[in-house]
């Protein structure tokens, strides 16, 4: 490398140009399926279930508000026109609203249709509203309980991509504007897709720019030499550019976690640069020749930097145990990025440093002794107060364990949305005025010779439907039985008390023939072609994972004890169930991943130090930050979910770096014939400054996330920042004490 440094720099510049060109092909994606538990039997069942019935998130709800009441002739007629014209919207397969709905009524001439709202006669509006309230069929689904808003429910094609979602939403907005509707709200997968992709792009740009500025300021305060700062910043940005270019070439789609990439690459890259550059410049100041100084630096610090990069990569790779494809992909991509940053720093940065005249690198004035004095003071403190440090560490462990016992998984979907955003406001509107978003499907499977269209099966289904209606968080319950109950009501003067299943089997089958004549398509959305499966559809309010779990357990308990399992089987499924189930895997996969990562790091430490006591000393300070991160979740009442789980990988992967640098320098001192105290003093003097600078850079870098619109990112920024500072304090105070106690 030393002989071909110009060629190395040229190669990296060419690679940087190619990576820049490839950035235009970067893809962003958002899909709830990214958070489904891969390999889970419930996911397999759901994938088979949607082959018959389609997905349960292929909808877009458009709520339009009107001052005082929606029952005004002009508003209703305009909304009706808007609703009926929605059938020709792109990617829309069905459109339903209150103004397009009818009550069937049996007369001597056959069935006739009575509009739910008689648009042409405003004198009937009061009676229509009273009938709607009496039936309670459309409240909180197509109209709110105060009659101040109406909903147009659109069913779309399955799996719309980002461009298709934006096309649909833009057309809907255009028509809303053309009809003079100013107060409207959206809910559905397409709306989430548009809003969250826009957030991802904005977050990626924001974090890249803000962290770059931050790193510049930190480097300026430390080195005060423009060439040093330019080399460092250019190297780090080049590493990020090469990484993002690689993701683009590989066709990797950036998920909601992509906003962390700039922070991780810039911060981890800065850490590597500072350790290499600090040691190299220190040797130049002592009068060493450039090539010799770089050789010594790579030998003494480069090995530790390699190990820290490997252990950081292992920390991220521990996320591979997650059953969420989004989280596991983030883990492997981050691990690759960390190693790419190391390669860039070692080859490109070191080559540029060797090519740069040292007069542009070294400070004009002799550096002050503030850093050595500060580090010596810390070293003296650990000598004077070893017992208090150990006792406080034990107390700290106890507090952390107590905090961990307070952790919960009562996660809410709305916590993922950007704060003070349209999507958060719209989600809240539907949560408070309608049935919310979280879909719930109950698969119904006939057993033996039975079919789901049998009368006996319909009665079993009705038991479950009535129980679901009695559970407050479950709303908008729909099943094939609604068709039979609707006809029974139509055959009894449209009286609400007759909205029940007919008592006679003969009547039931007579209705079935009528349904297949009048509403075959709608009926087919609930019944599979071979009539062995049906579905119960519902929505569940976003009351938190733990609370929703209680609701599901109650429903499953009722099904197991109150339905005839010899005739029919019921199984809860749907995207809501899968998202919730993935959250329960978080703890298990997190523990498995961290244990695996801990084992690999321990193996690396054992090979490096070849001393069991040093291995123990290296692991203890790195377990405490993990405990602290878990305790913070408990004390701050932050629910643990898939996105938040990356905190532990980041903390584990980065916190261990300081330990490796500290003990690596200590071991170099011992190998050079120094006594323990001399080696510790040299470590504080030569490595302590770099540890403090890199940790403060990490701290400030992750604190940038506090300004994020994405609430989980804010949480991650806070937890990682505070925890990494804790890790530094433990390294500087606890490791010297443990060295003196265990290596006497």
Report whether pLDDT(36) > 70: no
Q: How far does the chain reach from its first CA to its final CA, in angstroms?
A: 42
Mapping DSSP to helix (H, G, I), strand (E, B) and coil, where does residue 540 land?
A: strand
Task: Give domain status of residue 16, yes or no.
Answer: no
Average pLDDT over residues 248-254: 81
Task: Give domain status of residue 48, yes or no.
Answer: no
* Furthest C-alpha separation in the chain: 109
CA distances from 603 to 165, 314, 615, 617, 690 (A): 49, 12, 9, 14, 25
735, 614: one domain: yes
Domain boundary among 576, 594, 618: 576
Task: Give domain status of residue 105, yes or no.
Answer: yes
Please give the full DSSP string across 548-603, using - where no structure is assigned: HHHHHHHHHHHHHHHS-TTTEEEEEESHHHHHHHHHHHHHHHHHHHHHHHHHHHHH
Domain boundary among 576, 593, 624: 576
Average pLDDT over residues 505-524: 89
184, 212: one domain: no
Domain boundary among 171, 193, 215: 193
Can you give the pLDDT at residue 297? 87
Both tokens of residue 185? 């709200």
**Adjacent-strand bridge partners of 143:** 139, 150
- Total number of domains constituting the chain: 3
Give the CATH number for residue 559: 3.30.70
pLDDT tens digits, 72-124: 999 999 999 999 999 999 999 999 999 999 888 888 777 888 899 999 888 99
- Considering only CA atoms, which of 215, 247, 210, 256 is closest in space to residue 232? 215
Task: Give domain status of residue 645, yes or no.
Answer: yes
278, 401: one domain: yes
- Lowest mean pLDDT across 143-157, 397-411, 531-545, 634-648: 634-648
Using a cut of 0.75, tell me whether the model's pTM lies above it.
yes
Report whether pLDDT(368) > 60: no
177 vs 549, residue with greater confidence: 177
Calculate the average pLDDT of the chain. 84
Task: Give domain status of residue 312, yes or no.
Answer: yes
566, 556: one domain: yes
488, 542: one domain: yes
119, 202: one domain: no
457, 440: one domain: yes
Task: Give domain status of residue 418, yes or no.
Answer: no
562, 466: one domain: yes
pLDDT tens digits, 597-618: 667 667 776 776 677 777 777 7
Average pLDDT over residues 61-75: 92
Q: Model confidence at 501, in pLDDT bands (50, 70, 90)?
A: very high
Q: Model confidence at 587, in pLDDT bands (50, 70, 90)?
A: low
Task: Give domain status of residue 584, yes or no.
Answer: yes
**Adjacent-strand bridge partners of 405:** none
Give the CATH number for residue 723: 1.20.1640.10
585, 612: one domain: yes
Mapping DSSP to helix (H, G, I), strand (E, B) and coil, where does residue 36 land?
A: coil
For tokens 């489904």, what's the residue? 36
116, 224: one domain: no
Residue 104 in contact with residue 113, Cβ under 8 Å?
Answer: yes
Strand 27-28 and strand 92-96: the pairing is unpaired
Task: Give domain status of residue 42, yes or no.
Answer: no
Report whether pLDDT(144) > 90: yes
147, 243: one domain: no
pLDDT tens digits, 697-727: 778 878 887 887 777 778 888 888 888 888 8
267, 350: one domain: yes
Can you give the pLDDT at residue 367? 55
Domain containing 436 equals: 431-576
Angle between helices 646-671 and 325-344 (to 10 degrees): 30
């Amino acid at each position: 490398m030393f002989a071909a440094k110009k060629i190395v720099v040229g190669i990296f510049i060419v690679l940087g140009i190619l990576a820049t060109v490839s950035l235009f092909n970067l893809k962003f994606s958002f899909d709830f399926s990214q958070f489904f538990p891969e390999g889970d039997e419930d996911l397999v069942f759901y994938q088979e279930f949607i082959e018959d019935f389609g997905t349960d998130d292929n909808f877009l709800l458009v709520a339009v508000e009107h001052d005082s009441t929606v029952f005004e002739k002009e508003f209703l007629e305009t909304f009706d026109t808007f609703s009926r014209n929605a059938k020709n919207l792109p990617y829309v397969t069905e459109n339903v609203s209150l103004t397009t709905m009818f009550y069937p009524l049996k007369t001597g001439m056959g069935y006739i249709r009575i509009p739910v709202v008689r648009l042409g006669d405003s004198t009937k509006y009061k009676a229509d509203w009273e009938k709607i309230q009496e039936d309670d069929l459309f409240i909180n689904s197509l109209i709110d309980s105060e009659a101040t808003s109406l909903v147009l429910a659109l069913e779309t094609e399955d799996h719309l991509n980002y461009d298709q979602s934006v096309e649909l939403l833009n057309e809907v907005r255009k028509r809303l504007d053309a009809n003079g509707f100013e107060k409207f709200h959206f809910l559905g997968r397409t709306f989430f897709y548009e809003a969250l992709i826009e957030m991802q792009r904005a977050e990626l740009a924001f974090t890249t720019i803000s962290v770059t500025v931050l790193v510049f300021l930190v480097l300026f305060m430390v080195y005060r030499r423009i060439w040093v700062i330019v080399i460092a910043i250019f190297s780090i940005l080049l590493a990020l550019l090469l990484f993002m270019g690689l993701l683009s070439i590989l066709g990797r789609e950036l998920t909601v976690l992509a906003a962390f990439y700039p922070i991780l690459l810039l911060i981890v890259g800065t850490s590597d640069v500072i350790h290499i550059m600090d040691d190299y410049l220190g040797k130049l100041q002592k009068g060493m020749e450039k090539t010799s100084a770089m050789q010594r630096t790579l030998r003494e610090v480069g090995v530790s930097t390699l190990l820290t990069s490997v252990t950081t990569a292992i920390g991220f790779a521990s996320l591979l145990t997650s059953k969420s494809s989004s989280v596991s992909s983030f883990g492997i991509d981050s691990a690759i990025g960390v190693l790419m940053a190391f390669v860039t720093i070692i080859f490109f940065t070191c080559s540029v440093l060797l090519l740069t005249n040292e007069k542009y690198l070294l400070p004009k004035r002799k550096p002050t002794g503030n850093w050595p004095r500060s580090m010596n003071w810390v070293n003296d403190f650990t000598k004077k107060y070893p017992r208090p440090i150990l006792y406080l560490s034990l107390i700290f462990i106890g507090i952390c364990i107590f905090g961990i016992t307070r952790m919960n998984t009562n996660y809410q979907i709305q916590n993922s949305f950007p704060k003070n955003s349209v999507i958060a406001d719209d989600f809240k509107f539907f949560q408070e005025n309608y049935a919310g978003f979280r879909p719930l499907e109950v698969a119904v499977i006939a057993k033996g010779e039975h079919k789901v269209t049998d009368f006996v099966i319909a009665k079993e289904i009705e038991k479950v439907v009535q129980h679901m209606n009695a559970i407050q968080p479950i709303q908008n319950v729909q099943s094939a039985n609604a068709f039979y109950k609707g006809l029974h009501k139509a055959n009894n003067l449209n009286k609400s008390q007759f909205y029940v299943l007919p008592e006679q089997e003969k009547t039931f089958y007579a209705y079935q023939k009528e349904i297949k004549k009048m509403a075959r398509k709608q009926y087919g959305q609930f019944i599979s072609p071979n009539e062995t499966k049906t579905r119960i559809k519902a929505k569940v309010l976003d009351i938190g994972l733990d609370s929703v779990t209680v609701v599901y357990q109650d429903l499953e308990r009722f099904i197991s004890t109150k339905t005839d399992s010899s005739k029919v089987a019921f199984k809860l499924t749907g995207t809501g169930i899968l998202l919730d189930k993935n959250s329960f895997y978080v703890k298990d996969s997190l523990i498995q991943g961290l244990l695996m990562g801990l084992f690999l790091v321990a193996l690396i430490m054992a090979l490096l130090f070849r001393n069991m006591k040093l291995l123990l000393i290296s692991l203890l300070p790195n377990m405490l930050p993990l405990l602290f991160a878990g305790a913070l979740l408990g004390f701050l009442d932050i629910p643990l979910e898939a996105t938040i789980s990356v905190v532990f990988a980041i903390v584990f992967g980065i916190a261990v770096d300081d330990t490796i640098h500290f003990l690596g320098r200590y071991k170099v001192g011992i190998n050079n014939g120094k006594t323990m105290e001399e080696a510790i003093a040299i470590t504080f003097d030569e490595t302590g400054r770099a540890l403090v600078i890199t940790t403060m850079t990490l701290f400030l870098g992750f604190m940038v996330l506090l300004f994020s619109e994405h609430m989980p990112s804010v949480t991650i920024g806070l937890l990682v920042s505070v925890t990494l500072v804790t890790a530094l304090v433990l390294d500087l105070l606890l490791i010297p004490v443990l060295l003196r106690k265990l290596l006497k």
